Amino acid sequence: MDKLVGNHSEPFSTEEIEILIFAFESNILFDNVAHKFLPSLKGLPEIHEADSSGVDSEDEASEQEQSYQENLITERSNMVKTVLFTVIKEHIFRDMSLRFGT
């Protein structure tokens, strides 16, 4: 939740996205509402996070590539946040409609 609301600046990792997909498929989170958003999560670009430990390259091309990679990871994380906010909103609306009969 910290990553979702912005209290933790680290982007969502591939493993965390896979866990979310599993939780949505298994009805662990958000019951049946989440199934509508599974294609959105599964369609996110797969980005392999590179280990920058031990790599001290001063090449300008590799720095640009690393910057591009970081931008892709941040963009994918923002996409995950958008999907999660939408699922939460839909879940709340569904719960309200069930409770109040609309």
Distance CA 1, CA 64 (A): 31
Q: What angle do CA 71, 35, 46 make, to 5 degrees?
A: 25
Output the pLDDT for position 50: 56
Distance CA 34, CA 30 (A): 6
User: Predicted confidence band at 28 (pLDDT cuts at 50, 70, 90)?
Assistant: confident
Q: What is the pTM of this model?
A: 0.74
Least confident segment among 4-13, 14-23, 82-91:
4-13
Number of H helices, E strands in the chain: 4, 0
Domain residue ranges of the chain, discontinuous segments joined by + = 2-46+59-100
Are 29 and 23 within 8 A, CB to CB?
A: yes
Largest Cα–Cα distance in the chain?
63
Output the pLDDT for position 102: 67
Quick count: other Cβ atoms within 10 Å of Cβ 30? 20
pLDDT tens digits along 42-97:
888 777 665 555 455 556 677 878 888 888 888 888 898 898 899 989 989 988 88
Output the pLDDT for position 56: 52
